Amino acid sequence: MSDGLFKGKPYGLVWDHLADVAHGSVQEDWDLFLSNAHTLKHHMLTHGVVPTWEMAFCGGTPELANPQSYTWGWPSLFIYLFDPFWAFVLLWFLLSLMGLATLHLFLRRHGIPPLVSLGVGLAYVGCGYFAARFNVGHFTFAFFHFIPIFLLVSDVLVFDENSKSINTKHFLGMVVLSFLFFSATLPVALFYFYPALIVFLMLKFLMVHGASRTAPWRRLLWNWGVPHGMGMVLASYKWVPVLLWQRAYPRGLTEIESASLGMVLTDLWRTVPSFHEVAPFIDGRPWGIWENFNYIGAPFILFAVFGVCLSGRGLPKELQLLRWAACILMVMGLSLSLGNSHVLGLGSLFGALPFFDSIRSFSRYGILLTFGILLASARALTLLHYKIQEARWRGGEGVIFIVLSFALAPLFTQSGALIKNVTIIPSAVLQKVFPMERKGVYTQNTDINYGTSHPRFYFQTHLFHQGRNVIRCNQPLTAVLDGAPNFQIQKEPLVSPAPSQIRGESDGLSVFFDPPVFGEIKIRVPFHPVYELEKDGHPLEVQEGPQGGYRLETKEPVAQIRIRAQQPGITLGFWLSVMSAVLLLVLLVMVRREEKTMTEH
């Protein structure tokens, strides 16, 4: 049953016209995320409210149960203020800049010279892993840059001298940072990149304090664990519905994945100027080449080998910490990238774990491998820096600059090519390709696939702006069942016979017939157990239509049918957020009192 938080509170969202349904495939994730963003912005500007249920996209989407929706999250502010395309580009740029700055400062705190830490930071934000995701529009990967921010802030909170006492500003800062991370969108980084934070934090804690009972575990708990967990619970309204939705309707897009060690290593140095010019599936792996692309370049791989093998005796212990962290992350990243069916792959354990059993595309764990390589590279270049200082070479900084330039040049060339090859076809071109006549089925012009404008364009957005409700898309959500891409637009009424009005509500929509109708009624939202059809508050007996959607026969006149989407966990998530906000105020008072007590003594 649906949660009752929003039930019975219609938002008065009345569609001015009864839009036709448009069946159309998504063209890469640029289209997927931009279509989500355009419908969100249109909804807000047209109706003046943030939707809880958006019927214009993917046949109806419960926004708070949509793991890739920006609705009710702070990134939506960028969408409201800017054109969605530029909003995403700006968001990616700002997060990358934050990732670069915080990784630079984090490495500086661990004994890495300024030029080296800056160069490694540039390699991190400009690596092929992120360029490939930007190329295809995987915007959830922009939030991976929260991990370097977490690394820096966590290091300050737990290991600074003044961290022996709780600082109100630091405590609140971690709460806010954690809230921003968990409330942005589905935190994909939580599965693929978050382990880097845990590995570093625990490794440094054990190296500094040991595992004895006298170790300051309380400091670790109060300075880091409590505010981090508090921020996460504060964002419960956003992620709890997604979590419970996934358990109720498991994602069925996982594959049996097994990559050889050679494949994973080849991904680190293989260059691909354009994904358009290669086969979309290679090496027998189930996902496209962009999922496996993890270019970091031979120079940084060579640096990493030296960074791991050279001892560096007599140098600061922070460099030894980076060495061990790099080794652990590289082993983890390598093992997890092998897939969920490889005998050496840690991912083979995921099938027996809740939520982890729905993880796919294990090559995404390449970010751990890349990050480990960069940490080891930072150590190697620092050892070179010390050797140059010992030899008292003139122009030592110039040598480091030349070495870094040599390593960064192929990396930026490769990533720059992938960024340049992102092309969005203008609406004028789309209008010619998809004339949008009133009737009939129109097949996509396949010549456009291999031209200068690859089909990374606003396909679904274009349909939406043409007044269509996009019902079939390749949306990888548990909320929507979809077939394979058919590259067709098929227009048909959302409801037949034609209703007099369609009203959007908080958890679905109501269809009105004036005068009432009886006989066969067809409603073309995806036939899925998540949707319930009701009449006068009672469930209707329905059948799946011959081309999807719902078909029902009624002998009695029907004046209204309600299509309700079940949304597990919305009420639970809301109240968890409210209670955590109250608890946060109490904790802040306690922290402030302890802070005053420490100051007085």
Say which residues have a Cβ less than 8 Å from residue 265's Cβ, sequence separation at least 6. Answer: none
DSSP secondary structure letters along 5-21: SSTT----EE-SS-PEE
| 360: confidence class by pLDDT, cuts 50, 70, 90 | confident
Q: What is the pLDDT of residue 542?
A: 81
Is 515 exposed, middle or buried, given 0-12, 13-18 or 19+ CB atoms closer than 10 A? exposed
Q: Is pLDDT of 505 > 50?
A: yes
Beta carbons within 10 angstroms of residue 272's beta carbon: 21
Q: Is pLDDT of 447 > 70?
A: no
Say which residues have a Cβ less than 8 Å from residue 93's Cβ, sequence separation at least 6. Answer: none
DSSP annotation of 23: E
Query: How many CA atoms are closer than 13 Å to the CA of 197, on its beta-carbon side?
Result: 23
Average pLDDT of the segment spanning 537-558: 80
Helix (H, G, I), strand (E, B) or coil at 432: helix
DSSP secondary structure letters along 448-463: GGGSSS-S-S-HHHHH
Q: Is pLDDT of 459 > 50?
A: yes
Phi and psi, residue 338, nearest 5°: -70, -20
Q: What is the pLDDT of residue 64?
A: 76
Average pLDDT of the segment spanning 325-345: 90
Say which residues have a Cβ less than 8 Å from residue 16's Cβ, sequence separation at least 6. Answer: none
Helix (H, G, I), strand (E, B) or coil at 442: strand
> 498: part of which helix (H) or strand (E)?
none
Q: For the ranges 99-113, 223-237, 410-424, 465-479, which has the lowest average pLDDT?
A: 465-479
Phi and psi, residue 318, nearest 5°: -60, -35
Closest CA to 264 of 176, 335, 170, 175: 335
Q: What is the pLDDT of residue 162?
A: 66
CA dist 469 and 460 (Å) reads 9
Q: What is the pLDDT of residue 479?
A: 34
**Kind of pairing, strands 531-535 and 538-539?**
antiparallel
Q: For the ranges 286-290, 456-460, 582-586, which has the lowest average pLDDT?
A: 456-460
| 126: confidence class by pLDDT, cuts 50, 70, 90 | very high
Q: What is the pLDDT of residue 504?
A: 67
DSSP annotation of 138: -
Burial letters for 143-166: b for 16+ Cβ neighbours within 10 Å, e otherwise? bbbbbbbbbbbbbbbbbeeebeeb
Phi and psi, residue 544, nearest 5°: -75, 135
Closest CA to 531 of 302, 267, 281, 249: 249
% of the chain residues with pLDDT over 70: 74
| 291: confidence class by pLDDT, cuts 50, 70, 90 | confident
Q: Model confidence over 569-580: pLDDT tens digits?
A: 888 999 999 999
CA dist 601 and 592 (Å) reads 14
Q: For the ranges 75-89, 270-284, 321-335, which has the lowest average pLDDT?
A: 270-284
**Kind of pairing, strands 469-472 and 20-23?**
parallel
Domains in the chain: boundaries:
13-72+458-565, 86-420
* Cα dihedral sign, 330-333-337-338: positive
Q: Model confidence over 203-242: pLDDT tens digits?
A: 999 888 877 766 688 888 888 999 999 999 999 999 888 8
Q: What is the pLDDT of residue 108?
A: 96
Contact predicate 367/329, CB 8 Å: no
Contact predicate 220/334, CB 8 Å: no
* Cα dihedral sign, 498-504-509-513: negative
At 124, the amino acid letter reads Y
CA dist 518 and 531 (Å) reads 21
* Cα dihedral sign, 92-97-102-103: positive
More confident residue, 10 or 155: 155
Contact predicate 191/67, CB 8 Å: no
Considering the chain, what is the average pLDDT of its residues?
Answer: 78
Q: Model confidence over 159-203: pLDDT tens digits?
A: 886 666 667 888 899 999 999 999 987 777 888 999 999 999 999
